[in-house]
Structure 1
Amino acid sequence: MDRDVVDPEFLVRPAPRFQLGLGVPAHDYEVLQRRARAAEAGGFSFVAVGDNPSLIKDTYVSLTMLAVATDTCRIGTAMTDCVHRDMLVTAAAMSSVESIAGGRTFLGISAGRARTPGTMKQLREFVVALRELWGRGETTFHGERVTLGWSARPVPVLLGVSGPRGLHMAGEIADGAICEAGVDEETLARVRSNVTTGALAAGRDPDTLEIWHSLKTAISERRDDAMYQITPQLAALGAVALGRNPEKMGVPEQFRSACRDLAERYDMTAHLRTDDENPNRKLILDPDFREYVLDRFCLVGSPEDWVGRLDGLKERGVDRVFCVGLVPDLDHYIDLVGRQVLHAAPQSPKKG
């Protein structure tokens, strides 16, 4: 298929089997729009851009390009933050994009990790003020009265949170969350409990909130090739996501020492490298620990592996997955997921 052209057959296919969101880097707007159109045609539920001015083009301009390039899929940020963006500017910018996208925009926002990290308190203040501004046209933020004097449309707010406090807050004040705590059964139980507790404390129905689970992904026609792609990210997950405080992250006792050891040996200078010489490829040798990290954080393998994994996650109650990954060919990734995962025919039950 010519990847510059959306396959017209996709436009008449039945609804996709799964809800998958996709993050796309905004380096080149022509490429961004082409990939967004292909993702929409393939059945992805949303296309998101990040917010890192030192590495990618401006987030709000990128969202505008997505809004005019797509017709049906949602578009949004994953993630902007509450420290480096002005609250009023964020409200006006997202509402402006929404006036083009017509009911398809969402704001993914976190406390932030780059430069000056924010706090849960700052995130709460930002989101509460933002929603008041959209709802009433005015709010008080940091002691200042702020107004929005035009008919700005509100958009859903999804908090980028993974810990108990953040998930409780998502249930209390947001429309949902994009969570990267993991999808193993124990972690999922904690995530649901925290979100539900927050929602009920605020008199809200937890079933009205949308929870997206962020997973590291790799796909190839051959499972071994996909596993090779994901290997450096497995080490990063074990070292960075778990290794700093495995007890707090709910890591089973048998893997805690492996997490701490991995955190000590992990080479941060190679953190985003995908080449064959990345030293982090050789760090996870214990097959049981490797399987634990894969099950908790990843979606990896052939298209058939993906379908089986996603069906299994549905049985655990996971029905929305945000796909994140450092892949060698994003165009092929989008095409393969669309054709062989999102539009895969359900298998008939085996007889006898």
Structure 2
Amino acid sequence: MDFGLVLQTDPPGAATVGLMRRAERSGFRYGWTFDSAVLWQEPFVIHSRILAHTQRLVVGPMVTNPGTRSWEVTASTFATLNEMYGNRTVCGIGRGDSAMRVAGRKPNTLARLSEAMTVIRDLAEGREAEVDGTTLRIPWIEDSKLPVWMAAYGPKALAMAGREADGFILQLADPYLVEWMVKAVRTAAADAGRDPDEVTICVAAPAYVSEDTADGLEHAREQCRWFGGMVGNHVADLVSRYGTDSTLVPEALTSYIAAREGYDYAHHGRAGNPDTAFVPDEIVDRFCLLGPAEAHIEKLRTLRALGVDQFAVYAMHDAKEDTIDAYGSSVIPVLQKD
């Protein structure tokens, strides 16, 4: 199992670079950042610095979208980073939540996302692609490789990830839901004539290593409760589209948002988000990894048995450095020895 670190690009940018360097020293292989131009600093500028100050770390957005940048610009950016630092990028992409909504736009359609994934990958790898009716090729690209990993929750998006994406990003770590969604992705891949094992499975969720006490666990929960609110934005979209039909979307995913009243993106992805009071402790425990290192290891072994290839740690809480160090000393080495 690989490990990644996910950060918001809050200023100063040097702090993000420093945490990514720390993660690489601790055995993490991937460095991910949010991509929401109004809320945080420009990630690709910071990606360049991360790549310059690490040796092996693969970097990318978790996640970009097809609406805030033109596709040839996105492709050229990735290809430039690959030329400079040796094919150490990955394109995490989705319909767009905060980046689109904060700018007053709706998330992209799946059809647009599908087209964008193909175009961005083709252009970034030096092939021709059609953009807005014009055939383009970036002539200076040689030997660039760009895996495209798609974030998804709903049935149509999961099927599309299985058919078209190089990897699947699931932003929650509940084993029941992971099993459900990984099965949907792999079934779609097989139905499309692909080898299901060729689709990389990445689970991303907050991890907080705490003391094995009631107070320690409660503090960890409060630091990670924001995540249930962030996921709840996507779940609300699913409920508006599919209702509560458990054959299409599991009740284990949808039921907890019944008390959700609204969401202010000013607090997006931050501990103490006042719009996430509706998220119960049970959801925090299911969606995240909390408690002593042994509890993390146990849950990670379960996820690995379900086919998860990478666990990406969201570190938006008050123990970023301690979590990175604990994973480097007590979690990653154990999983690598198994």
- Normalising by structure 2, report the TM-score: 0.82
SS in 1 for 2:251: coil
Distance 1:195 1:346, change over 3 A: closer
Distance 1:66 1:269, change over 3 A: closer
Paired residues for 1:148-187 under 5 Å: 148-152=138-142, 153-180=144-171, 182-185=173-176, 187=177
Distance 1:309 1:182, change over 3 A: closer
Paired residues for 1:9-28 under 5 Å: 18-26=1-9, 27-28=11-12
Contact 1:161 1:178 in 2 (8 A): yes
CA distance in 2, matches of 1:346, 1:92: 35
CA distance in 1, matches of 2:266, 2:126: 47
CA distance in 2, matches of 1:238, 1:31: 26
CA distance in 1, matches of 2:95, 2:291: 32
- Normalising by structure 1, report the TM-score: 0.79
Q: Which has the larger radius of gyration?
A: 1
Which deviates further from its counterpart, 164-173 or 204-213? 164-173
Distance 1:147 1:273, change over 3 A: closer
Distance 1:238 1:227, change over 3 A: farther
Q: Which AA in structure 1 matches 2:226?
A: Q
Partner of 2:185: 195
2:164 is equivalent to residue 207 of structure 1: no
Partner of 1:321: 311
Paired residues for 1:1-352 under 5 Å: 18-26=1-9, 27-113=11-97, 114=100, 115=103, 116=105, 117-135=107-125, 137-152=127-142, 153-180=144-171, 182-185=173-176, 187-223=177-213, 224-231=215-222, 232-233=225-226, 236=229, 240=233, 242=235, 245=239, 246-247=244-245, 249-252=249-252, 256=255, 259-260=257-258, 262-264=259-261, 274-275=271-272, 278=274, 280-281=276-277, 283=278, 290-291=281-282, 294-295=285-286, 297-344=287-334
Query: What is the CA distance between 1:23 and its match in structure 2?
Result: 0.9
SS in 2 for 1:80: coil
Q: CA RMSD in A?
A: 3.0
Query: What is the CA distance between 1:22 and its match in structure 2?
Result: 0.9
Contact 2:32 2:61 in 1 (8 A): yes
**How big is each residue's C-alpha offset from its partner over 1:122-167, in whole Å with a ceiling of 9 and x where there is no partner?**
1011111223324553211221222211124131111122222122
Contact 1:171 1:198 in 2 (8 A): yes
Partner of 1:9: none
Distance 1:304 1:52, change over 3 A: same
**How big is each residue's C-alpha offset from its partner over 1:105-125, in whole Å with a ceiling of 9 and x where there is no partner?**
111111111332211111011
Query: What is the CA distance between 1:206 and its match in structure 2?
Result: 1.2
Query: What is the CA distance between 1:259 and its match in structure 2?
Result: 3.6
Q: Which AA in structure 1 matches 2:251?
A: V
Query: What is the CA distance between 1:198 and its match in structure 2?
Result: 2.9
Unaligned runs of 5+ in 2: none
Question: How many residues are matched?
Answer: 320
Contact 1:50 1:78 in 2 (8 A): yes
Identical positions, percent: 24
CA distance in 2, matches of 1:104, 1:226: 36
SS in 1 for 2:190: helix
Which deviates further from its counterpart, 30-39 or 238-247? 238-247
Distance 1:84 1:266, change over 3 A: closer
SS in 1 for 2:56: coil
CA distance in 1, matches of 2:129, 2:61: 23
CA distance in 2, matches of 1:342, 1:94: 28
